Amino acid sequence: MAKITMTVNGRQVSGTCDDRTLLVHFIRENLGLTGTHVGCETSQCGACVIHMDGLSVKSCSILAVQAAGSSITTIEGLAKDGELHPVQAAFKAHHGLQCGFCTPGMVMTAVDMIARHGSNLDEATVRAELEGNICRCTGYHNIVKAILAAAGEMGGVRQAAE
Amino acid sequence: MYQTNYHRPSSVQEAVKLIGGAAEGKYLAGGMTLIATMKQRLAAPSDLVDLRHIAELKGITVNGRSVRIGAATTHHDVASSAELEAVCPAICALASHIGDPHVRHMGTIGGSIANNDPAADYPAAMLALDATIVTNSRQIAAADFFTGLFETALDDGEIITAITFDAPAKAAYQKFPNPASRYAMAGVFVARRDNGEVRVAVTGAGSNGVFRHQGMEAALAGNWSPDAVGNISVDASDLLTDLHASAAYRAKLIKVMTKRAVAAA
Ligand SMILES: Cc1cc2nc3c(=O)[nH]c(=O)nc-3n(C[C@H](O)[C@H](O)[C@H](O)COP(=O)(O)OP(=O)(O)OC[C@H]3O[C@@H](n4cnc5c(N)ncnc54)[C@H](O)[C@@H]3O)c2cc1C
Ligand code: FES
Ligand code: FES
């Protein structure tokens, strides 16, 4: 058993878990933050994407102990004071979701993508960068539209989620 | 996944000592291969020794044309290094096409070459760039390092600390990705030196892992153009046949990828 501490959505949290516990299970079960989903648990689908120290990662493929001491942002950490994050608002406005299962991972991926590419983001880049995120419903078109719209709205300014 | 014990050393020396004291320890870098293997219970290390917090294993140094990449440097850091881009853009482009952004944020060059997946991208670059694999105890030429499918020259507990190479005059990598996994069905790295020497390394296709193609190297050394390999035949007898492609198809892909790589270099 390991006792671990990390910063999640700006708050320091601690918990006890097996060394083999996956980060996604620590987030969902120990911390009760169930916005992060598990689609495949084999690093294919991207439903579990979160940010660790400012970069997008698949939390089903990382042990919670590996993340000890790091700063984590989950989908719950994006909205501020009841206001949706611009990427969340764009997904809503552009119908970037249907069932919503892939959405937390898609949004976290989009925020990371916009932070890295800023105003250089174009459709081809968005599609290439969605390589690790699978959506069974939308056919991706509206997801791509939402990400481009959010990137435009955020003025291409480098904006980290953290 | 079976139970395991996690350790977080801050130096190479400490990491080697921890592995030495473990019943069946394994180094853990990005975990992008190892964690998946543990979930499938194909690996059950008693101890995991995390390499992500060892500063001396990280970073890229470019000195003239001489390059050093720390073993725990992520694919993302290789892909986005301006210093590396200036002398060897081919390796940045290669790294930028591994898996997806999330995998690139975790996966490392050391983990990739230690794993030596027959469809991984970096092994082709190491062979074509005539790289040296530096470990805690010695230096191994890439030509002697990759010894078979998922097999390398590493001894038990030996740790890759860095890879080094001299940037060639021209280089490029082209892969034909499997449409589902994005791993190479055939990937070819070409490199040409100022003295005219050419290396062509092929991944994803050989039934014994990554290999060099001497016929194409000779043809390209004589005439550095995509047309030069037009008449070379690639022997399919040592190539992989699987669900995704036959050996004969892979032989064709190798030629096409070589032409594209020379055109792109
Ligand atoms: C969805 C997905 C897509 C992928 N697509 C591609 C692709 O297109 N092309 C490609 O090439 N790869 C691909 N990969 C694999 C990826 O590149 C991995 O990063 C890589 O294979 C392993 O690196 P790692 O740092 O994660 O190593 P780990 O998984 O941590 O370790 C792998 C092995 O190497 C050993 N090891 C690690 N570091 C060292 C060291 N410094 N010294 C000695 N031994 C060490 C470990 O003990 C373990 O046995 C993909 C992976 C995933 C999950
Ligand atoms: S649950 Fe992590 S990638 Fe699918
Ligand atoms: S909205 Fe249903 S999986 Fe993407």
Instruction: Find, in chain B, the residue whose alpha carbon is nearest to that of A52.
Output: B105
Residues of chain A with Cβ-Cβ distance to B50 below 8 Å are 66
Ligand 1 centre distance from Cα of residue B186 (Å): 19
Write the residue in A52, A56, A66 that is nearest to B101 by C-beta: A56
What pLDDT sits at residue B181?
83
Domain ranges for chain B:
5-50, 58-166, 170-264
Domain ranges for chain A:
2-76, 86-154
Taking the Cβ of residue B93 and every Cβ of chain A, the question of whether any pair is shorter than 8 Å is answered with no
CB burial string B52-77: b at 16+ within 10 A, e below: bebeebbebebeeeebbbbbbbbbbb
Averaged over A57-67, what is the pLDDT? 98
Transcribe A118-143 into DSSP letters. Answer: GGG--HHHHHHHGGG---SSS-SHHH
Backbone phi and psi for residue B89, each to the nearest 5 degrees, phi listed first:
-60, -25
Write the residue in B1, B6, B103 that is nearest to A132 by C-beta: B103
Q: Do domains A2-76 and A86-154 have the same CATH topology?
A: no
Burial class (CB in 10 A: 0-12, 13-18, 19+), B167: buried
For the domain B170-264, what is the CATH superfamily, name and number? CO dehydrogenase flavoprotein, C-terminal domain (3.30.390.50)
What pLDDT sits at residue B41?
96
Pairing of strands A11-17, A2-8: antiparallel
Residue-wise pLDDT tens digits, A64-94: 999 999 999 999 999 999 999 999 999 999 9
Residue A156 has pLDDT above 80, yes or no: no
Please count the residues of chain B: 265
Contact A55 B105 (CB under 8 A): yes
B103 Cβ inside 6 Å of ligand 1: yes
> Rounded to a whole number, what is the distance in Å from the CA of A99 to chain B's nearest CA?
23
Residue A158 has pLDDT above 80, yes or no: no
A127 Cβ contact partners less than 8 Å away, ≥ 6 residues apart: A140, A144
Contact B99 A109 (CB under 8 A): no
Order of strands, edge to edge, in the sheet holding B25-28?
B5-7, B47-50, B25-28
What pLDDT sits at residue B9?
98
Select the CATH number that applies to the domain covering B5-50 from these four: 3.40.50.2000, 3.30.43.10, 3.30.470.10, 2.30.42.10.
Answer: 3.30.43.10
User: Which of B34, B54, B100, B182 would you mutate first to test chain A, the one with the most A CBs within 10 A?
Assistant: B100
Choose the residue to mutate in B11, B32, B97, B182 for probing ligand 1, maximizing ligand atoms within 8 Å of C-beta: B32
Q: How confident is the model at residue A120 (pLDDT cuts 50, 70, 90)?
A: confident
Q: Percent of chain A, pLDDT > 90?
A: 91
What pLDDT sits at residue A160?
45
Helix axes A141-153, A103-117, angle to 10 degrees: 40
Please give, one letter per residue, the 3-state secondary structure of B58-125.
CCEEEECCEEEEECCCEHHHHHCCHHHHHHCHHHHHHHHCCCCHHHHHHCEHHHHHHHCCCCCCHHHH
Write the residue in A62, A68, A129 that is nearest to B31 by C-beta: A62
User: Which of B5, B38, B41, B102 would you mutate first to test chain A, the one with the most A CBs within 10 A?
Assistant: B102
Measure the N-to-C terminal CA separation of chain A; round to a whole number of Å.
29
Helix axes A86-93, A141-153, angle to 10 degrees: 140
Measure the N-to-C terminal CA separation of chain B; round to a whole number of Å.
44
Choose the residue to mutate in A38, A57, A102, A133 for probing ligand 2, maximizing ligand atoms within 8 Å of C-beta: A38
Q: What is the CATH number of domain A86-154?
A: 1.10.150.120
Residue-wise pLDDT tens digits, A123-148: 999 999 999 999 999 999 999 999 99
Contact A131 B50 (CB under 8 A): no
A50 Cβ inside 6 Å of ligand 2: no
Contact A11, A27 (CB under 8 A): no
Residues of chain B with Cβ-Cβ distance to A52 below 8 Å are 105
Contact B103, A44 (CB under 8 A): no
- DSSP element (H, E) containing A8: strand A2-8
Write the residue in B39, B50, B105 that is nearest to A56 by C-beta: B105
What pLDDT sits at residue A161?
43
Reference B201, options B166, B175, B162, B232; nearest CA is B175
What pLDDT sits at residue A118?
85
Taking the Cβ of residue A122 and every Cβ of chain B, the question of whether any pair is shorter than 8 Å is answered with no
> Rounded to a whole number, what is the distance in Å from the CA of A84 to chain B's nearest CA?
24
What pLDDT sits at residue B180?
83
Transcribe B2-22 into DSSP letters. Answer: ---EEE--SSHHHHHHHHHTS
Report, at the CATH architecture level, how domain A2-76 is classified.
Answer: Roll (3.10)
What pLDDT sits at residue A159?
46
Phi-psi region of B59 (alpha: psi -120 to 50; beta: other; left: phi over 0): left
Rounded Cα gap, residues B211 and B249, in angstroms? 17
The model's pTM: 0.96
* Tens digit of each residue's pLDDT, chain B (265 residues): 999 999 999 999 999 999 999 999 999 999 999 999 999 999 999 999 999 999 999 999 999 999 999 999 999 999 999 999 999 999 999 999 999 999 999 999 999 999 999 999 999 999 999 999 999 999 999 999 999 999 999 999 999 999 999 999 999 999 999 988 889 999 999 999 999 999 999 999 999 999 999 999 999 999 999 999 999 999 999 999 999 999 999 999 999 999 999 999 9
Contact A19 B6 (CB under 8 A): yes
Contact B3 A20 (CB under 8 A): yes
User: Which amino acid would we find at residue A46?
Assistant: G
Taking the Cβ of residue B17 and every Cβ of chain A, the question of whether any pair is shorter than 8 Å is answered with no
User: Which amino acid would we find at residue B182?
Assistant: R
What residues does ligand 3 touch, defined as CB less than 6 Å away?
A 97-103, 135-138
Reference B79, options B53, B112, B54; nearest CA is B112
Instruction: For residue B108, give the ligand nearest its CA.
Output: 1
The yes/no answer on whether domain B58-166 falls in CATH 3.30.465.10 is yes
What pLDDT sits at residue B259?
98
Rounded Cα gap, residues A51 and A132, in angstroms? 14
